[in-house]
Chains A and B, each alone.
Chain A
Amino acid sequence: DQQVKQNSPSLSVQEGRISILNCDYTNSMFDYFLWYKKYPAEGPTFLISISSIKDKNEDGRFTVFLNKSAKHLSLHIVPSQPGDSAVYFCAASYNNNDMRFGAGTRLTVKP
């Protein structure tokens, strides 16, 4: 049961441009959403999060947008840098014991 979906397995962006990573979810009980970044052969690292009471959270070059009615969230990276190239996982939870992850989107930022 894929409750969190990242429909784009890969995304390629030019350095300096905006990267937009998308995520959809099906469970309306989810109230906390996160993005993780993962380099090959390493554990994912927490990037940014948003609770369901907000629709936007910004941290430097990273902004997460939440559209609850559409059950959709997105991660914007502006400006994109080559070091941002990684796999990005979207995650959602409705209690501390049950976090679901999407399949990931591989972002490639070309110099």
Chain B
Amino acid sequence: SQTIHQWPATLVQPVGSPLSLECTVEGTSNPNLYWYRQAAGRGLQLLFYSVGIGQISSEVPQNLSASRPQDRQFILSSKKLLLSDSGFYLCAWSTGTGNTIYFGEGSWLTVV
């Protein structure tokens, strides 16, 4: 069966510091990968998606970036965090032909 894991689960970072959230998927090949953010009191916002290694599409202009160095690894990064980057970040995957997205456990980021 397929599993998705992201880490760290919680993170407190000062403004201006870098960020790296990692996500891996097991049990499937060539998944579509996603990063979502849930800000306080708001819905799920799609940040990035990837259909293959090195292929990244950005939905929202921001100071975040994503990379897919391996087929089942997705990384969310920032060089300098802003206070507004605080939120709950979710990695997700889907098959190339299916329409259901499956989410990881989420990572709480607090920028102070």
- Chain A contacts to B: CB under 8 angstroms: 4, 6, 32, 34, 36, 41-46, 49, 89, 91, 93, 96-104
Contacts and interface: CB of A to CB of B under 8 A. Distances in A.
A97 B46 CA distance: 10
A43 B106 contact: yes
Interface of B is mostly: strand
B43 A103 contact: yes
Among all A-B residue pairs, the 3 with the closest Cβ atoms: A43-B103, A103-B43, A101-B44
Contact of A96 (B46, B99, B102): B99
Count chain B CB atoms within 10 A of each CB in A6, A41, A99 and give the residue with the most. A99
22 contacts: A32-B99, A34-B100, A41-B88, A41-B106, A43-B90, A43-B92, A44-B44, A44-B90, A44-B103, A46-B100, A89-B43, A96-B94, A96-B96, A96-B98, A96-B99, A97-B57, A98-B49, A101-B36, A101-B44, A101-B46, A103-B42, A104-B44
Contacts of B98: 96
A46 B95 CA distance: 14
Nearest to B51: A97
A97 B32 CA distance: 8
Interface of B: 32, 36, 42-46, 49, 51, 57, 88, 90, 92, 94-106, 108
Nearest to A99: B101
Contact of B46 (A6, A49, A100, A103): A100
Contacts of A102: 43
B103 to A, nearest CB: 4
